[in-house]
Amino acid sequence: MALPSVERPVSTPSPPSAVSVRGWGWRYAGRRAWACRGVDLELAPGERVLVVGPSGGGKSTLLHGVAGLLDTETAAEREGEVLVDGRPAALARRGTGMLFQDPESSLVMARAGDDVAFGLENSGVPRAQIWPRVDAALQTVGFPYGRDRSTTALSGGEQQRLALAGALVRGPALLVLDEPTANLDPAGTRLVLEAVERVLEATGATLLMVEHHVGAALRLVDRVVVVEPGGGVVDDGPPAEVFGHRGRSLSARGVWVPAPWGPAPPARRRTGRVGDVRLAADGLTLRYPGADAPALAPTDLGLRAAEAVAVTGPNGSGKSTLAVLLAGLVRPTAGAARLTDSPELPLHRWRARQLCRRVGTVFQDPEHQLLTARVDEELLVGPRRAGFRDAEARRRCADLLERLRLGHLAGANPFTLSGGEKRRLSVATALATSPDVLVLDEPTFGQDALTWTELLDLCADLRDAGTSVLAVTHDEAFAAALADRRVAICGGVAR
Output the pLDDT for position 327: 96
The residue-averaged pLDDT of 192-200 equals: 85
- CB crowding 299-312: b at 16 or more within 10 Å, else e: bebebbbbbbbbbb
Helix (H, G, I), strand (E, B) or coil at 283: strand
Please tell me whether residue 454 adopts helix, strand or coil conformation.
helix
CA nearest to 306, candidates 135, 467, 96, 132: 467
Calculate mean pLDDT across residues 324-328: 96
- Alpha helices (H) in 348-407, listed in sequence order: 352-358, 375-385, 390-403
SS3 450: helix
* 230, 220 Cβ separation under 8 angstroms: no
The SS3 of residue 402 is helix
Mean pLDDT of 223-230: 89
Indicate left, alpha or beta for 142 from its phi (over 0: left) and psi (-120 to 50: alpha).
Answer: left
Q: Is 401 helix (H, G, I), strand (E, B) or coil?
A: helix
Closest CA to 122 of 149, 150, 93: 93
Q: Residue 10 — very low, low, confident or very high, per pLDDT cuts 50/70/90? A: very low
For residue 241, give the nearest of 264, 218, 224, 220 by alpha carbon: 224
Sign of the CA dihedral with 141 first, then 112, 116, and 101 last? negative
**Cβ contact 417:401 at 8 Å:** no
- H or E stretch covering 295: none
Q: Phi and psi for 92 in degrees, rounded to 5?
A: -115, 15
* Prediction pTM value: 0.80
As a dihedral over the C-alpha atoms of residue 183, residue 213, residue 228, residue 178, rounded to 10 degrees, the angle is: -50
pLDDT (tens digit per residue) in 330-339: 999 999 999 9
Let me know: does 214 contact 181? Beta carbons within 8 Å: no
- CATH superfamily of this structure's domain 277-494: P-loop containing nucleotide triphosphate hydrolases (3.40.50.300)
C-alpha closest to that of 424 among 384, 456, 392: 456
Q: What is the dihedral of CA 43, 49, 55, 59, to 10 degrees?
A: 30
Burial class, 124, CB count within 10 angstroms (exposed 0-12 / middle 13-18 / buried 19+):
exposed
- The pLDDT tens digits for 366-377 are 888 899 999 999
Residue 11: is its pLDDT beyond 70?
no
pLDDT at position 13 is: 54
Q: Who has greater pLDDT, 106 or 479?
A: 479
* Close Cβ partners of 249 (under 8 Å, ≥ 6 residues apart): none
Over pLDDT 90: what percentage of the chain?
57
| Segment (H or E) for 224 | strand 223-228
Q: How far apart are CA 178 and CA 201, in angstroms?
A: 20
Strands, E assignment, 386-467: 437-441
Assess whether the previous peptide bond of 294 is cis (omega < 30° from 0): no
Q: Is the pLDDT of residue 282 over 70?
A: yes
Q: What is the mean pLDDT of the chain?
A: 89
The confidence score (pLDDT) of residue 2 equals 41
Name the more confident of 398 and 216. Answer: 398
pLDDT per residue over 29-59, tens digit each?
Answer: 878 888 899 999 999 999 999 999 887 788 9
- Identify the CATH class of 19-252: alpha beta
Averaged pLDDT for residues 311-319 = 91
> What digits encode the pLDDT tens for the residues 394-437?
999 999 999 888 999 999 999 888 877 888 899 999 999 999 99
Residue 266: closest CA among 474, 82, 481, 475: 481
- pLDDT digit string, tens, across residues 95-154: 999 988 778 888 899 999 999 999 899 888 999 999 999 999 998 888 889 999 999 888
What pLDDT does 9 receive? Answer: 40
338-356 residue pLDDT tens: 999 999 999 999 998 899 9
Domain limits, CATH 3.40.50.300, in the chain: 19-252, 277-494
Residue 89's Cβ-count burial label (10 Å; 0-12, 13-18, 19+) is buried
